[in-house]
Amino acid sequence: MEPIVEVAGGKIRGRTVDGVSAFLGVPYAAAPVGAARFQAPKPVVGWDGVRDAGALGPTCIQAPYPPALERILGTYTVPGSDYLNVNVWTPDPGGAGLPVMVWIHGGAFVHGANAVPIYDGAAFARDGVVLVAINYRLGASGFAVLDGAPPNRGLLDQLFALTWVRENIRAFGGDPDKVTIFGESAGGMSVASLLGSPAARGLFGRAIMQSGSGRVAATLDDARLLGGELGKALGVPATAEAFATVAPSALLAAQEAVHADYSRNPDPARWGRSVLAAGIGVMSFFPTLDGEVLTEAPADAIAAGSARGIPLLAGYTAEEFRLFTVPTGLGAAITMETLPFALARFGIDAAAIAPYAANRPDASGGDLLAAIVTDAVFRGPARQLVESQAAVDTPAFLYEFGWRRPDLGAIHALEVPFVFDTLGAGPNLTGPQPPQRIADEMHSAWVEFATTGDPGWPRYADNELVMTFDDPHSALVSDPRPDERATLPPAITS
């Protein structure tokens, strides 16, 4: 069966398999090529006849992950310029009133796409949800601050995609007034940005932040320094006009070179203090405080009530940072003697070590680094946003993903195929024989939250309860490891 629906731009033909109809690579904006690459998104260019939507669409140009991460995460790209597109899965394109979930992929704002196999939305559609997975501009194309270009183009793309959803989702059986946004890592940071953005009001009613933060935003002046360094690497002025003449492959090569230099030499005078702080030495191109899309740090805006009335589900994996320390060998190189210096890179005082070491008597310096940075960068920010929402009388729920892959632990991104119920599509990420029971639990909770605004456990405000997904069983835990959390700086954990 080949269902046909009409959206902005024209008619599209999808594919139906096992009762789920998929419409893939559907453009929601005009192709960002030439001068348009560094401008705000424009409406999609229409087509004649029926456009085939049976195969994945183009993705934003990007480099592979470093080899140690590439083996786990993989890079999935499709060539082409029409990469501002969405994939849509629906149980009934002729229906009405179905809840809608919009997925924003992660990848440090320089990697990722809606073409990643574990982001297949068929299981959500199977369970009565219209699932939309979006692409947006990455790296310098999406976030470099240049003269003559609007900042935050990647966020503008996300806003444009959400507007497209609001205007077109009825064609797939979805209800535009029942939209939940969710994302992981950079996608989770994007969720926080949208919760704090005046421009996003009215575009969604619920939100899920997986391994994100509301503290990722640089000042324009600092981000402009990074754009200037990119211009130097390219040999052109840091302007939209000049950058538009550069081949995408050349821009990508310069972006990679600048990021490598930034990582090796984190000089605040050269790169900008807020870029280094918000990027934690790992990310270089990401959202900025532009005064329009983001008027203040998302965490501050949310604390002031910007997302009042929008139920929030947020959480983290218990050992996020082990993804960046174990496969790369960094963890093995950190000793107890060098641990304080490694923590200083993240703005964390050595006083934080004591409770973590006491609770982990056999842990190495690398193990402790991963545990402490996990809490500082992921657990603390998730808790902060949940507490902020609770403080403005809005339902807010906190989870921890605790299941450990035997060789790596409960690493960053490990929960994603459990949420999507796509364990078979991600063996390099999950390892062999991940527990399907946890996928059943998490996927059902996400569907329930999108449908009702409640994932099926008490709000965090009720005794600081955290749903911990683990094996052999999952359980509600009241404020896990409070002694560790208490040692981290309030700016990180509050």
Q: Would the pLDDT of 1 be above 80?
A: no
Does residue 327 share a domain with residue 194? no
E strand segments, 185-276? 206-210, 218-219
Confidence of residue 493 (pLDDT cuts 50, 70, 90): very low
Please report the pLDDT score of residue 203 as a whole number.
98
Q: What was the pLDDT predicted at 452?
A: 98
- Residue at a domain's end among 213, 240, 262: 213
Query: Does some domain include residue 291?
Result: no
Residue 281 confidence class, pLDDT cut points 50, 70, 90? confident
Residues serving a catalytic function are: 185, 320, 412
Spatial distance between the Cα atoms of 417 and 123, rounded to a whole number of angstroms: 11
Do residues 319 and 426 share a domain?
A: yes
- pLDDT tens-digit map of 183-242: 999 999 999 999 999 999 999 999 999 999 999 999 999 999 999 999 999 999 999 999
Strand (E) or helix (H) holding 261: helix 248-264
pLDDT class of 170 with cuts at 50, 70, 90: very high
Both 185 and 319 in one domain: the answer is no
**374 is a domain residue:** yes
Is 97 inside a domain boundary? yes
Q: Is the pLDDT of residue 294 over 80?
A: yes
Rg value, the chain, Cα: 21
Residue 147 lies in a domain: no
Token pair belonging to 6: 């009409």
Asked whether residue 294 is assigned to any structural domain, the reply reads no
Q: Are residues 198 and 324 in the same domain?
A: no
d(CA 112, CA 350): 34
Domain edge (last residue) among 176, 194, 213: 213
Question: Taking CA 223 as the corner, what is the angle to CA 219 and CA 224, rounded to the nearest 5 degrees?
Answer: 115
Q: Are residues 316 and 204 in the same domain?
A: no
**In this structure, are 333 and 455 located in the same domain?**
yes
Q: Which pLDDT tens digit goes with each residue over 51-67?
A: 999 999 999 999 999 99
CA 101 to chain centre: 14
Average pLDDT, the chain: 96
Q: 103: pLDDT confidence band, cut at 50, 70 and 90?
A: very high
In a domain, 91, yes or no: yes
In a domain, 113, yes or no: yes
Q: How sure is the predictor about 486, in pLDDT bands with cuts at 50, 70 and 90?
A: confident
**Sign of the dihedral defined by the CA atoms of residues 479, 480, 484, 489, in that order:** negative
* 260 domain-assigned: no
pLDDT, position 494: 35
Element (DSSP H or E) covering residue 21: strand 20-27
> How high is the pLDDT of residue 479?
86
Residue 325 and residue 191 share a domain: no
Q: Given a cut of 70, is residue 491 above it in pLDDT?
A: no
Model confidence pLDDT, tens digit, residues 431-471: 999 999 999 999 999 999 999 999 999 999 988 999 999 99
Does pTM surpass 0.95? yes
- Of 182, 213, 244, at which residue does a domain stop? 213
- State how many domains the chain has: 2
pLDDT digits over 315-355, tens only? 999 999 999 999 999 999 999 999 999 999 888 999 999 99
CATH code, domain with 72: 3.40.50.1820
> Per-residue pLDDT for 492 more than 50?
no
Contact call for residues 315 and 384 (beta carbons, < 8 A) = no
- The boundaries of the domain holding residue 128 are 4-141+153-213
What DSSP string runs through 278-347? HHTTT--S--EE-SSS-SS-HHHHHHTTTTTT--EEEEEETTTTHHHHTTTSHHHH--TTTHHHHHHTTT
Q: Are 405 and 431 within 8 A, CB to CB?
A: yes
The band of 487, judged by pLDDT with boundaries at 50, 70 and 90, is: confident
